[in-house]
Amino acid sequence: MVDVVTIGESMILFQSLNDSSIQYSPLFTKSVAGAESNVAIGLTRLGKKVRWISKVGDDAFGKYLLATLAGEQVDVSNCIIADNEPTAIYFKDFKASQDPIVYYYRKGSAASKLNKNDIQPEWFHNARHLHVTGITPALSNDSAEMIIEAMKVAKRNHMTISFDPNIRRKLWTEEEARSTIQKMIPLCDIFMPGLEECEFLFGKKSTDEYGELLLNMGPRLILLKCGADGAMAYTSEYMIHKKGVFVENIVDTVGAGDAFATGSLSIILDLQNIDMELNNTTKIKSVIANALERGNRLGALAIQFKGDWEGLPTLNELTAIEHGESVITR
Ligand code: KDG
């Protein structure tokens, strides 16, 4: 059984080796990044079986990307290798005391050409849950249609669906972002926006108003990320708030949301029948509280490491942290 299927573009990420600005840096580190594959790696490290689906170029970067994910035990066997389009790349520019600035080189990339005719029944074979984000739909009309269709197919296959809007303003216009994301919200069971994303989508409101508005759109569980203030869960029966984990030395904020998705989903995936349990959330109140706590914990870990997923722990490491155990290092 595959716990999670996730579909989306991943890129090769270049960061300055010595954290100087990319304009002057003579040396770069090469890594892999992509919201969906970050979650795939994180969940695999926590013992879940994850199938990541994408399209990469028939180039050195595509090969490196697939090898990295396969090396993390993510199932990449359904990925498509394009004949003529390249694997996308992106650069992260570190700026003192603010979020890094990212520069994408992904127009016309292999993954941006994915379309709904690429969808295969094998993508969903024997799988329980689909996780998607708002990044891949931002790449092209075709990729937006493909993700929306994949959500519909997953539903027909009785899978549950989580959706993190991950709004990237550099990739599409505000109108496109709003209308596509608002179309996708009713198709998911678990919606995981950040507070700023709710404000972008619906204007300034209280967290309770966002919770009510989003539940009325269809999802049965809203996990609202509130940065350093932690996260909140809304269901038709209750609201829970869990405080954030304090981090003294923030190194790189990119990937925090994916880490939250990884942590919270890893707990929810332990439920035998997620679909059924989401119909009566009173019974699983403690599970949802744990999901928030683990999401916050992983978000805090992710931002202490350079890289979009490198700080995500294995299950043994996380269990030790959650139980306050010290780790034997030598
Ligand atoms: O959430 C982190 C992602 O934003 C990052 O890994 C790269 O997928 C990416 C993107 O499009 O920015």
Q: What's the whole-number average pLDDT of the chain?
A: 96
The whole model's pTM is what? 0.96
Q: Is the CB of 35 under 6 A from ligand 1?
A: yes
* Cβ atoms 102, 170 nearer than 8 A: yes
The residue behind tokens 């269901």 is 235
Q: Hey, which of 9, 14, 38, 54 would you mutate to test ligand 1's pocket, going by the most ligand atoms within 8 Å of its Cβ?
A: 38
pLDDT, tens only, 189-199: 999 999 999 99
What pLDDT shows up at residue 193? 98
Is residue 164 in contact with ligand 1, taking CB distance under 6 Å? no
In the chain, what is the straight-line distance between the N-terminal and C-terminal CA atoms, in Å? 37
CB within 8 Å of 224: residues ≥ 6 apart = 192, 193, 194, 195, 198, 207, 210, 211, 231, 232, 233, 234
What percentage of the chain has pLDDT greater than the value 70?
Answer: 99
Residues with catalytic annotation?
A: 258
Question: Which atom of ligand 1 is found nearest the CA of 256?
Answer: 1
Q: What pLDDT is recorded for position 299?
A: 96
**Confidence at residue 239, expressed as pLDDT on a 0 to 100 scale:** 98
Q: Is the CB of 253 under 6 A from ligand 1?
A: no
Name which residue sits closest to atom 4 of ligand 1, judged by CA. Answer: 35
Can you give the pLDDT at residue 97? 67
**What pLDDT score does 95 carry?**
79
**Contact 166 CB / ligand 1 (< 6 Å):** yes
Whole-number Å distance, alpha carbon 8 to ligand 1 midpoint, is 10
Q: Calculate how far, in angstroms, residue 223's C-alpha sits from the geometric centre of ligand 1.
A: 19
pLDDT for 325? 85
Residue 242 alpha carbon to ligand 1 centre in Å: 25
The response to whether residue 135 sits with its C-beta less than 6 Å from ligand 1 reads yes
Ligand 1 pocket, residue 34 CB under 6 Å: yes
Which of 246-250, 255-259, 303-307 has the highest mean predicted lDDT (pLDDT)? Answer: 255-259
pLDDT band at 329 (very low <50, low <70, confident <90, very high): confident
Distance CA 320, CA 323 (A): 5
Closest residue by Cα to residue 40 from 52, 32, 28: 52
pLDDT at 313: 96
User: Is the pLDDT reported for residue 5 higher than 80?
Assistant: yes
Specify the ligand 1 atom closest to the Cα of 33: 6
Q: Quick check: 193 and 164 in contact, CB under 8 A? A: yes
Given a cut of 90, whether residue 18 has pLDDT beyond it is no
Q: What confidence tens digit (pLDDT) does each residue in 188-229 have?
A: 999 999 999 999 999 999 999 999 999 999 999 999 999 989
pLDDT value at position 117?
98
Q: From the CA of 179, how far away is ligand 1's center (Å)?
A: 21
Q: What is the pLDDT of residue 98?
A: 77
* β-pair partners for 4: 50, 129
Please calculate the CA angle 179-182-188 and round it to the nearest 5 degrees. 145
pLDDT digits (tens, 9 = 90+) for 32-88: 999 999 999 999 999 999 999 999 999 999 999 999 999 999 999 999 999 999 999
Upper half-sphere CA count for residue 158 (Cβ side, 13 Å): 5
Q: Whose CA is nearest to atom 5 of ligand 1?
A: 34
pLDDT tens for 132-186 read 999 999 999 999 999 999 999 999 999 999 999 999 999 999 999 999 999 999 9
Q: How far is the CA of 319 from the centre of ligand 1 (A)?
A: 27
